[in-house]
Amino acid sequence: MIKLESVTKVYKGEVLALHEASCDIQKGEFVFLVGPSGSGKSTFLRLLNKEEDPDKGQIFVAGKDIGRLSRWRVPYLRRNIGSIFQDFKLLPNKTVAQNVAFALEVIGRPKHVVKTQVPAILELVGLQKKMHNLPHELSGGEQQRVSIARAFVNRPLILLADEPTGNLDPATSVGIMRLLDRINKTGTTVVMATHDRGIVDTMRRRVIELDRGQIVRDQVRGVY
Amino acid sequence: MALKFDYVIRETGRNLRRNLTLTVASVLTVFVSLALLGVALLLQKGVSNATDRWEDGVEFIIFLQPDRSTSQQERIESMLERQVPGAIDRYRFVTQQEAYEEFSNDFFPNTPEITDLVTPEILPPSYRVVPTELDAEQVEVLARSFEDEPGVRRVIRATEEIRKIERATDVVRWIVLVAGIILLATGLLLILNTIRMAMFARRREIEVMKLVGATNWFILVPFMLEGTAQGIMGAAMGSGAVYGANRAFARWLASDNVLNILQSFAVDSGEVWGIALLLMGIGAAVGAVGSAIAAYRWLDV
């Protein structure tokens, strides 16, 4: 599903974000990206949805070399990739339901699809009772659930998570991880960058460790 | 994928309202600049209507008798022909029918009372002569040589008056035109800035839209429409001002105390519509270009 072949990314000519990174992630896998700050985890994720382009090497997503994707095709790549973040990136002036619906509306989904999909996905993340609340009326964990609902409502093949539990307390984090695990069980490939040792150690999934831009470890059922 | 009509209209309207002060500033600037451009064009049309027969260096006109004989005309024509390319650079024959069209379209476009009294047969045909030397004395000698020829009714010279009108309106026209263009550039920059502010105010939404895979067009079209709408609103007001100015001028011409010669400056409504259409096009283009530059630079980073 995702394949990197000796990918190198350098920022501003000197900062080495990724160096000769190669790996192969199968459909339906759950992968943790671990490593200290600045080791290249976020760059890894940003390269996958083409927010940035590598300086060297090739990246394949769903069998396609995304380096050869023309600019106007990039939005269609992103429709297959959901993204969630540490800071949620919710729109503060829209309700929970509107935030999720927005993701469908702006890719031109018809109204009746929006009407049925939004309540269904909010039920999946356990927020059907709060669909008319604004984001600031929710707890951090609930806000992250909304952002997961928005990322997953279009049923993407891949879900990219950049420190999704970074702003949450351990108990709330466990709930978020259960949700991501459920999404993974539907066949969605999940790649999650994290600092959270406890989560990685309890989940026992594949772990890719980065250090100064290099993949130093790739374990099938790893710990932090 | 088709853009949703109601979505685009809603977004455009919301953006226009949100940035009201900047929107008003952009629209007014486009309005004033296009009004100036329009007046400059109007002036140009008026002057060219009035001085049409003196254009392209025509220095004197030989009017023939409507009842001249063919041999008389041939004699005059051969006199002209002999001096090309010596004293005469070129000349042109204007038939009675052409003279009638000029009379009714250029001189008295809004006064059928006058043109109805005239038929092509009573108007004289003429030769429009462009001499090689513009020296006043030489032109005078040349013009006088035709004056006593049989079949010639009258020779009239481009008077100093006409040259003065042309020169004066030329200067005014250039000043108005340059001012209009500078203001138009200001309008473009203002629209660009308005759109940039609008996109900045909605940067979170744009970020999410890009993230979930909205196409660039989907993101851009509401902003481009917003800029285009500003340009068109300004242009509509500018066209209205030009129309009003022409109406006021026409009404002033129609009052009794105006010299008859000014009648020929009148611009007919067809020409005003042409100018209005041009202004609308310019306004829309300025708006679209301004917002496209703003949007493109924003999306590219």
Measured between CB atoms, does A11 come within 8 Å of chain B? no
Residues in a beta bridge with B90? B130
What residues in B contact A76, CB-CB < 8 Å? Answer: 213
What residues in B contact A77, CB-CB < 8 Å? Answer: 213
Strand ranges of the sheet holding A206-211, from the earlier edge strand across to the other edge: A81-85, A158-162, A189-193, A30-34, A206-211, A214-219
Q: Do the chains contact at A78 and B216, CB–CB below 8 Å?
A: no
State which residues of chain B have pLDDT below 50.
1, 301
Interface test with B, best of A106, A157, A160 (most B CBs within 10 A): A106
Q: Do the chains contact at A77 and B213, CB–CB below 8 Å?
A: yes
Q: What is the mean pLDDT of residues A40-59?
A: 93
Measured between CB atoms, does B270 come within 8 Å of chain A? no
Choose among A153, A145, A51, A143: nearest CA to A105: A153
Cβ pairs A/B, distance under 8 A: 53
pTM above 0.80?
A: no
Beta strands in A47-141 (DSSP E): 56-61, 64-65, 81-85
Q: Choose among A78, A91, A105: nearest Cβ to B213.
A: A78
Residues in a beta bridge with A59? A4
Cα torsion for B110, B115, B120, B123, to the nearest 10°? Answer: -100
Interface test with A, best of B3, B18, B208, B220 (most A CBs within 10 A): B208
Q: What is the mean pLDDT of residues A212-223?
A: 90
Q: Choose among B3, B208, B215: nearest Cβ to A102.
A: B208
A66-70, A193-197, B64-68, B272-276: which range is least confident on average? B64-68
Compute the C-alpha angle A139/A143/A148, nearest 5°: 145
What is the spatial distance between Cα B186 and Cα B224, in angstroms, rounded to a whole number?
Answer: 18
Compute the C-alpha angle A46/A49/A53, nearest 5°: 65
Question: What's the alpha-carbon Rg for chain A, to the nearest Å?
Answer: 17
Measured between CB atoms, does B211 come within 8 Å of chain A? yes
Query: With the C-alpha atoms ordered B191, B193, B197, B200, is the resulting torsion angle positive or negative?
Result: positive
Predicted confidence (pLDDT) at residue A104 exceeds the cutoff of 80: yes
Please name the residues in contact with A48: beta carbons below 8 A apart, sequence gap of 6 or more.
Answer: A2, A59, A61, A66, A81, A158, A160, A191
Measured between CB atoms, does A73 come within 8 Å of chain B? no
Q: Choose among A72, A78, A108: nearest Cβ to B211.
A: A78
Is it true that the peptide bond before B85 is cis, omega within 30 degrees of 0?
A: yes
Beta strands in chain B (DSSP E): 60-64, 88-94, 126-131, 152-157
Residue predicted with more confidence, A57 or B96: A57
Please name the residues in contact with B57: beta carbons below 8 A apart, sequence gap of 6 or more.
Answer: B89, B130, B134
pLDDT tens for each residue of B125-160: 888 877 777 666 777 777 777 777 777 777 777 766
Q: Do the chains contact at A108 and B218, CB–CB below 8 Å?
A: yes
Give residue B301's pLDDT. Answer: 42
Measured between CB atoms, does A113 come within 8 Å of chain B? no
